[in-house]
Amino acid sequence: MSDPDNQPHQADPNEPKRWLDYPENVKRVIRWFFISAGIVALLDVVFWKHLFVHKHTLFGFENFPFFYCFYGLGACVILVILAKGLRKFLMRDEDYYDR
Amino acid sequence: MIVESFHPAFILIFGALLLAVLPNRLRQIAQVVIPVFALANFVGLKAGSEPWMTEYLGIDLTFVATGKINILFGWLFHIAAVIAAVYALHVKDRVQTVSGLMYAGAAVGVALAGDFLTLFLFWELLAITSVFQIWARKSKTSGASGIRYLIMHILSGLLMMAGAAFYYVENDGNMAIAQMELGKGMAPWLIFFALGIKSAWPFFHTWLIDSYPESTPTGAVFLSAFTTKAAVCVLAQTFVGTEALIWIGTGMAMFPIFYAVIENDLRRVLGYSMINQIGFMMVGIGIGTDLAVNGALAHAFNDVLFKGLLFMSMGAVLYRTGKMNGSELGGLYKSMPITTIFCIIGAASISAFPLFSGFVSKSMVMSAAGEGGFVFVWLCLLFAAAGVFHHAGIKIPFFAFFAHDSGIRCKEAPLNMLIAMGIAAFFCIFNGSMPDTMLYPMLPHDVPYEPYDATHVITQTQLLFFSALAFVVLMLLKIYPPELKSTNLDVDWFYRKGGKLFYRGADKAFNGINTASANFFLGKVVKNVVNFFESGASRLAVWALTPVWALQGFDAKGREEQRQSLFKQAKRGAFPIGMTAFFAVVLLALLSMIYFFR
């Protein structure tokens, strides 16, 4: 990497803090996220009894209330827990193949 | 066409030769002008126009086929060539720039090939030109990784060559690329697996995971655009409706996401998510209905652009910081805000957020799977769609640009990289929000599909928000696996570690035999002859390989190391390349025997 502009360096300790550096702001972002997830979930109501929108589905189980919410949440929790378990079998040191 | 009677691929290939000799300033200009000119020239080639054919030794060859699939991939590879060339504008290493543009040319050649002989020639060129993007990294590990990559792709080339030969015999001298059926003769099987290796099917996928993270920051952008998509292009013309592909694709969509969650090297995470995306394409081709094939091809088109964008953003991070592990990065949004935005656009596209490109193509494959009644496949794909958001959509931008601040400060990515990312980002949003303008009209089948209906938008948003919710909750509860410096075992263990065990065993056995025979003969003459042949062969090999090492970019010290290791291997009687050649010969011999004694 010959580019003279490539000079990664450590941050100056006196560097002014950014908005996301304050923990209360991170908490705020997370709170907004929870609220918007709740709103997105509530959108499911428009399908109930085909009140507003006729839900175009291919399978019966798709009509189960909040099906996509449960599936997304469940899939990712299972994914992470299984993957974490896989580490026990698969994880080696970084230089494993070089030894 | 501006250039009549000139194969579009050769504009790029001969243009690449020009890059080798021009002085640096002019080289930079030519590097952009050549692919842009090639693209402008390609605009004139319309689907359904007269193909370019010729007869050679009594075989009808089609250099430029003009089916809708050929033209679609021709467009795609030209666009990718322009983007990658702009992205790599600052690279001064000639080996990389020249081979990169040739590689793009080879991909165009594959896309337009109308017969298996033409296909084979470009297929080999694709393998050979691409490996320099890995070797050019010149790191401790990239040399060996490049060799492993090349072995797999030469194997694919051999299978393709044997397949083409069988195809010629089994089809009475007709070489035209056409729909095939597995089980009807040898040719379909051989070609099927040749394509399988290149499209990174499970058990053949390790070359991708192994080598892409070893390539240069710009190399991964080239690599991610062409090789696997060239295979998808040919599969969509030959094995439509082959049921095996549905299951292969489902496997590809599922298994990599588990690896991606625990992988630390962020470009390797992208490699896994690439296999996951190709899985969707395989399922689409396997189902084989008009909607499914359209979906597979639309997704291939979008994938080149959003995966390219993600690889470009990570390449910029690697270029500026020299680091690529999630455990060492974080907080880079402060130093590279524009790259951060582009990365998020790529992440939103791969995750199929409404208005981004993945949304309009992934769902076509899903709908086709549902309409075909493949409930299990559909549930797996939905799982994979949630999972890909989790690891590519959230993990990549989060650990590189946010997470805990690593304290690393650097400059924003160079201007040429930002422009290249900008072009890709534009296409991600453009194809995502206006698919009827460019993307859908290019697809081969005329089936109406409307991605933006209320059900689809709402359910997809729910799926994604709740996948993100899982990430946030698991993070807050500290259940989410931390990024750790590690290597995760994959099936390449069998030839990387298993191979070493075999080496050691062979070392013991062969040296044992050596000692035993030396004891048996005891004669000095015999010993001298043995010595002569032993070191004679390695001298010859060193003489032949020195220019190759020089090309790979080893300096004098590196060459000396290579020489020592070669002598060591010669003592053990174990040449990896010689072995491959040997196996290739055995394979060919076996094939011809099967054919003649059938």
> What is the phi/psi pair of residue A67, to 5°?
-55, -50
In B, which residues are within 8 Å of A40 by CB distance? Answer: 458, 461-462, 465-466
Q: Is B57 left (phi over 0), alpha (psi -120 to 50) or beta?
A: left
The pLDDT of residue B2 is 47
Q: Give pLDDT, residue A21.
A: 86
Distances (CA, A) of A92 to A89, B141, B261, B291, B566: 9, 17, 16, 43, 28
Query: Within B351-374, where are the H helices?
Result: 357-371
pLDDT, residue B531, reads 58
Residue A12 confidence (pLDDT) = 83
Chain A neighbors of B393, CB-CB under 8 A:
none
Q: Hey, which residues 57-76 in chain A have their CB within 8 Å of chain B?
A: 57-59, 62, 66-73, 75-76
Position B581 scores a pLDDT of 58
Q: Which two tokens stand for residue A72?
A: 């997304």
Q: Tell which residue, B308, B436, B423, B286, has the closest CA to residue B361.
A: B436
User: CA dihedral defined by B470, B474, B479, B483, rounded to 10 degrees?
Assistant: 90
Contact between B335 and B291 under an 8 Å Cβ cutoff? The reply is no
| Structure tokens given for B370 | 């549902």
Considering chain A, what percentage of its residues have pLDDT values greater than 70?
91
| A13 domain residue, yes or no | no
> DSSP for B237-294?
HH-TT-HHHHHHHHHHHHHHHHHHHH--BHHHHHHHHHHHHHHHHHHHHHH-SHHHHH
pLDDT-derived band of residue A83, with 50, 70 and 90 as boundaries? confident
- Give the distance from residue B162's alpha carbon to the nearest chain A alpha carbon, in angstroms: 33
Which B residues, 348 through 387, put their C-beta within 8 Å of a C-beta on chain A? 367, 370-371, 375, 378, 382-383, 386-387
| B267 vs A: CB within 8 A | no
Contacts of A81 in chain B (CB under 8 A): 479
Which one of A76, A91, A98 makes the best mutation probe of the B interface by having the most chain B beta carbons within 10 Å?
Answer: A76
Is B403 in contact with B394 (CB distance < 8 Å)? no
Partner B contacted by A5 (CB < 8 A): yes
CA dist B17 and B98 (Å) reads 6
> Are the CB atoms for B473 and A75 separated by under 8 Å?
no
Range of the domain at A31: 19-98
Scanning every residue of chain B, which has its alpha carbon at the shortest distance from the alpha carbon of A31?
B472
DSSP code, position B334: G
pLDDT in tens, B520-570: 555 555 555 555 555 655 666 666 667 667 766 677 777 777 777 766 665
Contacts of A36 in chain B (CB under 8 A): 465
Nearest Cα residue to B366 out of B426, B297, B292: B292
Residues 153-182, chain B: which have Cβ within 8 Å of A?
Answer: none
Q: What's residue B585's pLDDT? A: 63
Q: Does B479 touch chain A (CB under 8 A)?
A: yes
DSSP letter, residue B411: P
B501 Cβ under 8 Å from any chain A Cβ: no
pLDDT value at residue B55: 79
A30–chain B Cβ distance below 8 A for any pair: yes
Q: Write out residues in chain B with pLDDT < 50, as ranges.
A: 1-2, 573-575
Distance, C-alpha B205 to centroid of its chain? 10
Tokens of B432: 């995502």
B476: contact with A, CB 8 A cutoff: yes
Sheet strands (E) in B57-104 = 59-64
Closest approach of chain B CAs to the CA of A14, in angstroms?
Answer: 12
Q: Write the Ramachandran bin of B200: left for phi over 0, alpha for psi from -120 to 50, otherwise beta.
A: left
**Contact between residue B43 and residue B268 where contact means Cβ atoms under 8 Å apart:** no
What pLDDT does B47 receive? Answer: 84
A6 and B411 within 8 Å at the Cβ level: the answer is yes
Which residues in chain B touch residue A77, judged by CB atoms under 8 angstroms apart? 470, 474
Q: What is the DSSP letter of A15?
A: P
Question: Is A3 part of the contact surface with chain B (CB cutoff 8 Å)?
Answer: yes
Tens-digit pLDDT profile for residues B370-400:
999 999 999 999 999 999 998 888 999 999 9
Per-residue b/e over A29-59, b at no fewer than 16 CB within 10 Å? eeeeeeeebeebbebbeebeeeeeeebeeee
Query: What pLDDT shows up at residue B297?
Result: 97
Cβ atoms of residues B573 and B505 within 8 Å: no
Distance CA B488, CA B593 (A): 40
CB < 8 Å to B469, chain A: 33-34, 37, 72-73
Neighbours of B260 (CB within 10 A): 28
Residues from chain A that touch B467, judged by Cβ atoms under 8 A, are 72-73, 75-76
Check CB contact of B193 with chain A, cutoff 8 Å.
Answer: no
The neighbour count for residue B567, using CB atoms within 10 Å, is 15
Count of beta carbons in the 10 Å neighbourhood of residue B67: 17
Q: Mutate which of A47, A55, A78, A97 to test chain B, going by most B C-beta atoms within 10 A?
A: A97
Residue A43 DSSP one-character state: G
Please indicate, yes or no, if residue A44 is contained in any of the structural domains. yes
Is A8 part of any domain?
no
- Count up the domains in chain A and report the number: 1
- Model pLDDT for residues A9-40, shown as the tens digit of each residue: 888 888 888 888 888 999 999 999 999 999 99
> How many angstroms separate the CA of residue A21 from the nearest CA in chain B?
9
For A72-79, what is the mean pLDDT?
A: 92
- The residue extents of the domains of chain B are 1-205, 240-495, 497-596
Where do the DSSP E strands lie in B437-573?
A: 487-488
B446 CB neighbour count, 10 Å cutoff: 9
Write down how long chain B is: 598
Contact flag B319-A1 (C-beta cutoff 8 Å): yes
| Residue A58 banded pLDDT, cuts 50, 70, 90 | confident
- Residue A5: inside a domain, yes or no? no
Inter-chain contacts counted by CB atoms under 8 A, chains A and B: 192
Does residue B327 belong to the interface with chain A, where contact is any CB pair within 8 Å?
A: no
The answer for B287, left when phi > 0, alpha when psi is -120 to 50, beta otherwise, is alpha
| Interchain contact B464–A (C-beta under 8 A) | yes
State the ipTM, two decimals. 0.89
Q: How far is CA B166 from the centre of its chain?
A: 26
List all residues of chain B from 114 to 143 with a beta carbon under 8 Å from chain A: 140-141
Residue A10 lies in a domain: no
Per the CB < 8 A criterion, the answer to whether A43 and B458 are in contact is yes
Beta carbons of B378 and A59 less than 8 Å apart: yes
- Which conformational region is residue B48 in: left (phi greater than 0), alpha (psi within -120 to 50 degrees), or beta? left
In a domain, A59, yes or no: yes
Specify whether the CB–CB gap between B462 and A68 falls below 8 A: yes
Which of B255, B410, B466 should be substituted to probe chain A, the one whose Cβ sees the most A Cβ atoms within 10 Å?
B466
A5, A58, A79, best to mutate vs chain B, most B CBs in 10 Å: A79
Residue B73 · residue B66 · CB < 8 Å: no
Task: Specify the pLDDT at position A1.
Answer: 46
Whether A3 is in a domain gets the answer no
Closest-CA distance, A88 to chain B, in angstroms, reads 10
Q: How far is B385 from chain A (nearest CA, A)?
A: 9
